[in-house]
Structure 1
């Protein structure tokens, strides 16, 4: 049930991000004389201080925010899998070096590091911001995967693969990796949430490309325009609510995957007859 609800939320926002701009067709940066208009039949979610349509910005912002989140999660997951699985299986000096590198990134505070790295970017486009977020967000997943690999590598099927003459890389990516797919999926979803929040934080602080409309840049301009003080709730609540809904959807899918991978977390439904007795 959790996976269905979460997947429904994610599917809705994915469809909005992919097909929404095609149906709306308007320019999210287009201004008009209808500034700070509340929601109406003409502007369903109202307008900003410069007359920009909030709904149009919200739809276009979904593509940027989700794109940064997914791209960051893909890069971070690839790094985490490479470092965690290789270090956990090979062990020795390789594992020590990779563990030290992982610990360094775990100790460093993520948000200040993202802010510092983003400040030195020559270009602050979607790809650049996604890479910065991924570089600072892979360590946690690598630590978890390393611990799981240390446990899995002692199992019989891994020993049998080693005895049959399979190479280390084949054992890591064809024997151990499939067993750890639920853990990898959980790490990926958690990274998507963190990346979306990080992108929103960078945009809110003015460190991202503010010429590109995203949910974070909408919050940035709403804060600069003092939307809260003037009562323009339609300017900042929609992007904040969308970020919250995306986080909820990803969390529900994550909990569902955990229940599938670990039967102890499943909710046991008691039959009505047993409850009546």
Structure 2
């Protein structure tokens, strides 16, 4: 029995039109759910907190008692992985938000402003752009090591990773500043704030979304890299500290793959999810990319065949 027309769900709700975005969102949602309820669930199942209690013997392989095995100190790897998911995602989201906000503000303002204000902001962005980001990040993180926890790490990453995004936003804003719709809004007497928010910003939305996704992945990778080389806070539990302790305790030489493989796989998954969502956003915002998609080719082929049959 077919439902009445008013009771049917729209097609966009019943079936997602972009599979890349759907797969990426599923991966992100699963990781976020693990970060939110995972530590409490693991604590209830394993009777551990933050994976720091001695749960078994050293370097036990995965088993029914320890699903991901144990470390050299007998700590459960699953408990560490779940707790580290929360820390790594918090660092990624916070650092990505700070970096994207600074990049959008400085890039758009320096691209739209003219005169001395625009020149000063452009010079400010260019100065930070030529400063090597990785050495600066390592120096600041080493100086503040062990202070502030993951918040300090996210703050350092966010404040040192915005110049590249700001440069891209400035270039895009310069191309939009002299467009007809912006000129019409300017001649109509609209304020600069209103023009930037209502005329320029909507055209930068796909670029801002891709910048934020890239900043989140970069922040997670930077946090893991800092902890891996010993410049982070070893007292916190994250994917990076898991890799650090696995490397320092010789897990690779001992063949304890269950210690270093799960955090590396999680970092790869978060990068894959961000890449899929970024590709999907590009296809949704650019009709030319949608026209080249396999679904579009199939639809065009069916339409051509129907026209040939009709003729």
TM over 0.5: yes
TM-score, normalised to structure 1, is 0.94
Question: Alpha-carbon deviation of 1:175?
Answer: 2.4
The residue correspondences of 1:8-27 to structure 2 (distance < 5 A) are 8-25=26-43, 26-27=48-49
Maintained 8 Å contact 1:118/1:124: no
Aligned length: 277
Residues 270, 33 of structure 1: alpha-carbon distance in 2 compared, 3 angstrom cutoff:
closer
Question: Is 2:250 the counterpart of 1:226?
Answer: yes
Question: Is 2:127 the counterpart of 1:109?
Answer: no
The residue correspondences of 1:244-259 to structure 2 (distance < 5 A) are 244-259=268-283
Question: What is the match of residue 69 of structure 2?
Answer: 46
Maintained 8 Å contact 1:79/1:138: yes
Equivalent-residue separation in structure 2 for 1:167 and 1:269 (angstroms): 44
Structure 2: tracts of 5 or more residues without a match: 1-18
Partner of 1:87, secondary structure, is helix
Question: What is the match of residue 6 of structure 1?
Answer: 24
Question: What is the match of residue 53 of structure 2?
Answer: 30
Question: What is the match of residue 196 of structure 1?
Answer: 220
TM-score, normalised to structure 2, is 0.85
Structure 1: tracts of 5 or more residues without a match: none
Partner of 1:269, secondary structure, is helix
The residue correspondences of 1:87-236 to structure 2 (distance < 5 A) are 87-121=110-144, 123-236=147-260
Question: What is the match of residue 56 of structure 1?
Answer: 79
Question: Alpha-carbon deviation of 1:124?
Answer: 4.7
Provide, for residues 33-55 of structure 1, a one-character-per-residue CA deviation record: whole Å limited to 9, x for no partner: 41100000000000000011101
Which of 66, 69, 75 is matched with 2:92 structurally? Answer: 69
Worse-matched range after superposition: 157-166 or 249-258: 157-166
Equivalent-residue separation in structure 2 for 1:124 and 1:104 (angstroms): 28
Worse-matched range after superposition: 160-169 or 143-152: 160-169
Provide, for residues 175-204 of structure 1, a one-character-per-residue CA deviation record: whole Å limited to 9, x for no partner: 211221111001000111111000000111
Structure with the larger RCO, 1 or 2 (CA within 8 Å, 6+ apart): 1
Which of 242, 258, 263 is matched with 1:239 structurally? Answer: 263
Provide, for residues 49-92 of structure 1, a one-character-per-residue CA deviation record: whole Å limited to 9, x for no partner: 00111011100000000110000111111101110111111122
Q: Let me know the Cα RMSD of the aligned residues.
A: 1.8
Structure with higher Rg: it is 2
Question: Alpha-carbon deviation of 1:264?
Answer: 2.0
Question: Alpha-carbon deviation of 1:117?
Answer: 1.1
